[in-house]
Amino acid sequence: MLKDLFALYGAGLINREAPKSLFPETLIFNEGWLLRLVLKEWLAGSAGSGFGFLPFPEGVTAYSEGQLYTPFRGGSHPERNTHADGIVGEFTTTGTKSGIVLKPDFRYIAFFEAKIFSPIAPGL
């Protein structure tokens, strides 16, 4: 998939007067899309992916731009949902728009934050 994306991008650069791809580089080379591509390659676990040193467990699902719902909504200091750029694990999205629900017997969950040239925000 990554090779196809680079080929599509390259086709737009070969002939600047009449490019075959009519979209800006930022559509491809942004944090969200790059993380999606990395997670797809990583989840595929192909020998050529470069991620063989740290494989995901079998049967996990990958999802991007998801929310982990919180049970702590009431009281004087209600908690907000956790937003994640990428999530890999044992969960479902059934019955939600952008949320994930952990399976009752889940054993693995990993959250990923996509950052390019920007620091992770300090504090809570």
Report how many domains make up the chain. Answer: 1
Considering the domain boundaries, does residue 119 fall inside one? no
pLDDT at 105: 92
pLDDT at 108: 92
Query: In which element (H, E) is residue 33 found?
Result: helix 31-44
Considering the domain boundaries, does residue 122 fall inside one? no
Considering the domain boundaries, does residue 31 fall inside one? yes
Considering the domain boundaries, does residue 118 fall inside one? no
Considering the domain boundaries, does residue 36 fall inside one? yes
pLDDT at 107: 92
Residue 50 sits in which domain range? Answer: 2-112
pLDDT at 31: 82
- 3-state SS record for 74-90: CCCCCCCCEEEEEEEEC
The number of residues making up the chain comes to 124
The CA-atom distances, in angstroms, between 56 and each of 85, 89, 101, 107 are 17, 8, 19, 12
Which residues of the chain are modeled with pLDDT < 70?
1-2, 4-28, 46-50, 52, 123-124
Considering the domain boundaries, does residue 51 fall inside one? yes
